[in-house]
Structure 1
Amino acid sequence: MSQAFPNIKIRPHGLQFVAGNIGGIVCAVLILLLAGYDGLLPKSIFPFMMAAFGLLFINLLCKCVYLLRISYIITEEQLQYEYGILSLQRDFIELYRVVDYSEQRSFLQMLFGLKTVSIYSGDKTCPRLDIIGVQGDSDLITMIRERVEYNKKKHNIHEFTNIR
């Protein structure tokens, strides 16, 4: 029962940053426009607006770097989730523990052709893992499902439902 599955490495698409942070991006642009438009606001407000822009910019920059550092690795037996900015953290989900899947698309994700795939498992530390920013045309759930079924057979795990 040896079936070799190649490792799959997935990173969120760059447009996921825009889809997830559109409010902050719009606010930052509006603050810059209002601060740079002479005569619209009193000059005494300018330093506060620039401070607000600076804080918002730093927040958006941290979110962008965090998103760029996320990676999901699907091996033959595990789903690994790596994340972190200053330190790297890695969570593991054994594929034989996966019990369900779902796909979600926000309005902006639909516009950008992206989706979020949720994996539900019996894992204690990570019962739900959201794989964000996946290309909308990828058939990720089918690839994961094949590996899950293979691992459940390999570990002789059977699921019983609706037993009376």
Structure 2
Amino acid sequence: MLSIHSVSSLDLVSKWMGESEKLVSNLFQMARDNAPSIIFIDEIDSLCGQQGEGNESEASRHIKTELLVQMQGVGSDDQKVLVLAATNTPYALDQVHLGDTPHNLTESDFEHLAHKTEGFSGSDIAVCVKDVLFEPVRQTRDAKFFKKNSSDMWVPCEPTERGVV
């Protein structure tokens, strides 16, 4: 029988040192003991904001670390535990790895990318974004021919194009 463990992020926070980590560990252990299980964490954004935020406390870093440790192997067939999380700020999650990088992606572009990257971790997506962002640098580095564009900037081009240098 499927076991469901539903908690709010506030249920996992304690003012006592080390208690939050114990609460997270106990939640995952209970889910493993009662597998197959689903762990649902509401308001995950308040518990796990972006790393490196200026207002991130030492306690918050410890909770994030414990969550990541406990999630190792979750979702594999031998553990039979699934973690679902909800956020009140999905708009903050869409562009986490783009940062302030200018782009003209639409909502449907993000949906298409989400389908193409199903199963990717946040780290996998960060690598993809960085790879795409550096593509112009690689093209410029490897280019042998250049021409001026409409902004009067030199850009890589094919040797057969007009105005090639």
Which TM-score band (shorter chain)? under 0.3
Q: Which structure carries more strand by proportion? A: 1
TM-score (norm 1): 0.22
| TM-score for both structures, normalised by structure 2 | 0.22
Q: Considering only CA atoms, is the larger Rg found in Structure 1 or Structure 2? A: 2
